[in-house]
Amino acid sequence: MGVAPAPFVDQRQVRRNFARAAATYDEVAVLQREVGSRMLERLDYVRIEPQRILDLGCGTGASLTALHERYPAATVIGADLSEAMLRAGKTQRSRLRWLLPFLRGNRPPLLAAEAAALPFTARAFGLLWTNLMLHWVADPLPALREMHRVLAVDGLLMFSTFGPDTLQELRASFSDGQPHTQRFIDMHDYGDMLVECGFSDPVMDAEMLTITYASFDDLLADLRRSGSGCAMHGRRRGLTGRTAWAAARAAYEGLARDGRLPATVEVVYGHAWKGEPRKTADGRAIVRFEPRQRSR
């Protein structure tokens, strides 16, 4: 069974990165919206009519309207670690209401919350949706346990995250031994974690996407403006020297094809259900007896 990695993610830096990016996030979050769209397509194959939906790691709320349109009878709630991102989303949605009248009656509650300590009662949601959030938490296992706790029995968890091959070109371009990208976990380890947390019938798959940039600086600017800079504890705290930057730039530019620089993204998709509990809170097995029908 896969083991959750040590909490090497600096949550304070994650907050800082997204606070700085809140004003520019929607301008550059093309990948995030594309992955969210592909997740929505996957709901076409799932029979579910949730009464309450949680979008965990909702950011500025790009998926909230789409989830509301798909499940108009459901209450949709957004939660995110970054209050700055939530405020930016509220501002954006307020502007859109003047242009799109159907949004005026749709004001989903938004609240700041950590994935490993959700402020909701047990079994509160029929669908828990989280798009490209799990690689920002210090340890996915407690977050997945919380998701299991707040899901109703027969509720569905649907998520996406990045796999280990994401930004492999950027990592390989630096030779200073410091992390320059986030830590990304293998798809199979996520599957093991889902089982460990009590989810049933987990389904995992992945796809490779390639984004191209005109320059090395454009790639770095895109990461910065989307809040996707490295937030690992082991990252270099001071400025990277000119020599290291020049070497990384030269190494990356050596990968150019037709004047464009590639950036690989491994997108991991997963979904799993919450079944009836098999154990009590203190670890005792639950045995269910069905009464035998008496013959007449």
46-49 long-range Cβ contacts below 8 angstroms, 24+ apart: 46/156, 46/158, 46/271, 48/126, 48/127, 48/156, 49/73, 49/74, 49/126
The domain limits of the chain are 11-163+185-207+267-274
Report yes or no on whether pTM surpasses 0.95.
no
- Does residue 6 carry a pLDDT above 50? no
On whether the CB atoms of residues 151 and 123 are closer than 8 A, the answer is yes
- Report the C-alpha gap between 187 and 227 in whole angstroms: 23
> How many whole angstroms separate alpha carbon 2 and alpha carbon 185?
10
**pLDDT per residue as tens digits for the range 201-251:** 999 999 999 999 999 999 999 999 999 999 998 776 655 668 888 999 999
Tell me what the pLDDT averaged over the chain comes to: 88
**Other beta carbons within 10 Å of 229:** 20
Amino acid type, 90: K
For the 11-163+185-207+267-274 domain, the top CATH level (class) is alpha beta
pLDDT band at 89 (very low <50, low <70, confident <90, very high): confident
